[in-house]
Amino acid sequence: MADDQNMHLVIIRHGESEWNKLNLFTGWTDVDLTDTGRAEAAAGGKALKEQGFDFDVCYTSLLKRAIHTLNIVLDEMDRAWLPVHKTWRLNERHYGALQGLNKAKAAEEHGEEQVLIWRRSFDVQPPALTPGDERDPHVQAMFRDVPQEDLPYTECLKDTIARAWPYFEQEIKPQLESGKRVLIAAHGNSLRALVMQLEHLTPEEILKVNIPTGVPCSYTFDKDWNILDKHYIGDPATIEAKINAVANQGKAKK
């Protein structure tokens, strides 16, 4: 347990997945990490260990790219024994009928501006799935314990916040407030949902936030949830390159 009165949280976005590599809209599709993604997670775990980080409890989504990222990080830290809570509420945002489409191809079809709106607007949902579609979470085994009415057919960032933040408040906040050191391995948009609330950002501000893959981000809060410190853990040049790469994904191939 941390011996100071401050609260310690680290978030990490999963490394490159098979569909990131193919530049496809992934959302809730349960694709795995690539070798690059596994290496990113291992580097993140190594950096945490080298800098003396330790944790008491971990949280992740139901999607294997986040779960495997967490497992690899914990292996690097020799902490595979830590308790891990998995929840659909930390899933990536659901991309609706865009799931499985190539981002650049979608930009050609619908126009770069429209794709950018779907990817980056706060409250515009992509086209919804038809109920019963094989991509519909209502018919997938992974979500059989989730109340049907809670499951989406599509989501914007606002929707993602509406499910992720209450989970943080109800489940994760009390752990931090009791002095537990928490590690969350999740996705670009579910982490953005948390960052927006923790940093009191506006919708305009959070849309400009690009969370790099596989790079742990450490927050230290005082007991009133003021941020005393926030920093990425790893090589600064690598981190900057990654943030820029994330920002460039939705552009049509020239």
Catalytic (active-site) positions: 14, 92
The token duo for 72 is 């690899």
In the chain, beta strands by DSSP E = 7-13, 57-60, 84-86, 182-186, 217-221, 227-232
Q: CB-based burial of residue 123 (10 Å sphere; 0-12 exposed, 13-18 middle, 19+ buried)?
A: exposed
Q: Which residue bears the tokens 């928490």? A: 182
Q: Is 213 annotated as a binding residue?
A: no
Q: Is 19 annotated as a binding residue?
A: yes
Q: Is 119 annotated as a binding residue?
A: yes
Q: Is 130 annotated as a binding residue?
A: no
Q: Is 189 annotated as a binding residue?
A: yes
Q: Which residue bears the tokens 């931090």? A: 176
Nearest to 190 by CA among 84, 79, 62: 62
Q: Is 218 annotated as a binding residue?
A: no
Task: Determine the 3-state secondary structure of 231 from DSSP.
Answer: strand
Q: Is 154 annotated as a binding residue?
A: no
Q: Is 96 annotated as a binding residue?
A: no
Nearest to 66 by CA among 211, 176, 209: 211
- For β-strands 7-13 and 217-221, DSSP reports them as antiparallel
Phi and psi, residue 232, nearest 5°? -80, 150
**Spatial contact of 127 and 155, defined as CB atoms under 8 Å apart:** no
Q: Is 27 annotated as a binding residue?
A: yes
Q: Is 219 annotated as a binding residue?
A: no
Nearest to 192 by CA among 173, 211, 220: 211
Q: Is 18 annotated as a binding residue?
A: yes
Q: Is 95 annotated as a binding residue?
A: yes
Q: Binding site residues for substrate, as ranges?
A: 13-20, 26-27, 65, 92-95, 103, 119-120, 188-189
Residue positions forming the annotated binding site = 13-20, 26-27, 65, 92-95, 103, 119-120, 188-189
